[in-house]
Structure 1
């Protein structure tokens, strides 16, 4: 029986990460539906989700064939590589060094691209629109699949992590159906910062587990690592802001 204390970090990380990816996918699907209608948008979305389900069903049995410590080590290293790279980007966004991601602008850009194709009377516009929705769902969905496997595969937490990811997708879908607009009010950049912190914390934890390290507090040590990465990240934001202001001067 998995305790809530053990499952909570995996569920939280999967939920927040999936929330971010689902918002980005929804933005493009909404743009497709607004310009070309909901048939190609929903067809592309459905095809993308079907492909992701097949991928998960194929990967699940393969994970059981990999020795636990080897799986933890590989996942930990990958999480550190991706988590630290993404955290660096989140720090630069928070410091204003690079522009914040804006779902309203992303929606307008995708909408303009589809309208340009329509004005140019390109053939098979519904096909192009469907492929656009399909690509958005698959690309963002692959990140969700990777995150679910990464935070859940090491200790048999795939089901709780998958539940967290599914809950995030349902929340975003319901809000999208109601408002029919990109979720611009979702603090996406703040969520991304938090997700990067959690992924980096999981990366340290799984790498240590794979190497046979017995962490104090076991799974609760993930929260300690997250607090350390958060503190370092916030300090890095301040330093980056100061450096940027000095460069401007």
Structure 2
């Protein structure tokens, strides 16, 4: 797997997760208190750092074949789930992910919550909201960094891509003080879903001892093939949705007595 593909895959996936985490943090900070919110963000990042330090070396100790089978399977599960949701949203069978609506919901909930102080945290609700948002969304970032990095033998580059994505999204979110509703999130989820599915398929096959024609170059065929297949499903679903429904047969009148 080339360095460019590794960086792009991790960067795009982490951008999606960072947008959702930033929405939660902004709702807590702009509505409640920024000091408690930032403490929650810091604690969440510290917890994620501990997870990376503990799991990173442990993953690299696994045999490469076992690692690729396990990670490939997990990536297939994540990738196909992301791809499924993106296809259904693009075909209008599922509502689009609306960051602005999520932001309004979080703000309303934050405004109605009581102000509680615990230790050095003056607003426990803001702290908890930010901590949970960063930790839960960050766990997926950690999973992507470790799996992609370990399989490619370059956790450092994967971590760099994640840091760039998180810092970029956080900087834009703080600068505009508003949810990043204009980010084409569903399109990005489709791309990430395609990439996760492709890499999961690629590594699973390699993990069981098989070889791909052309080695890593097979990804240049596998990624577009999955993308085209996904787009074809979207077109088919849209046509199914637009096609007039068949009229149901008229109810049979009861026989005269």
TM-score (structure 2 length as normaliser):
0.90
Residue 71 (structure 2) aligns with: 75
User: Is 1:224–2:221 an aligned residue pair?
Assistant: yes
In 1, the alpha carbon distance for the partners of 2:227 and 2:115 equals: 48
In 2, the alpha carbon distance for the partners of 1:101 and 1:143 equals: 18
- CA offsets 1:217-247 (integer angstroms, 9 cap, x no match): 3223223211011000000101111222337
Matched position secondary structure for 1:98? coil
Matched position secondary structure for 1:21? helix
Aligned residue among 6, 21, 24 for 1:25: 21
In 2, the alpha carbon distance for the partners of 1:42 and 1:87 equals: 33
Q: Is the 8 A contact 1:201 1:223 kept in 2?
A: no
1:40 deviates by 1.4
User: Is 1:161–2:127 an aligned residue pair?
Assistant: no
Residue 180 (structure 1) aligns with: 177
Q: Which runs of 5+ in 2 are unaligned?
A: 247-257
Aligned residue among 33, 42, 46 for 2:42: 46
Higher helix proportion: 1
In 1, the alpha carbon distance for the partners of 2:170 and 2:54 equals: 25
Aligned residue among 207, 212, 217 for 1:210: 207
CA RMSD, 1 decimal: 1.6
User: Is 1:234–2:234 an aligned residue pair?
Assistant: no
Q: Is the 8 A contact 2:115 2:123 kept in 1?
A: no
1:163 deviates by 1.1
Distance 1:202 1:24, change over 3 A: same
How many pairs were matched up?
242
Superposed, which structure 2 residues align to 1:57-96 within 5 Å? Answer: 57-96=53-92
In 1, the alpha carbon distance for the partners of 2:62 and 2:150 equals: 11
Distance 1:160 1:59, change over 3 A: same
Q: Which has the larger radius of gyration?
A: 2
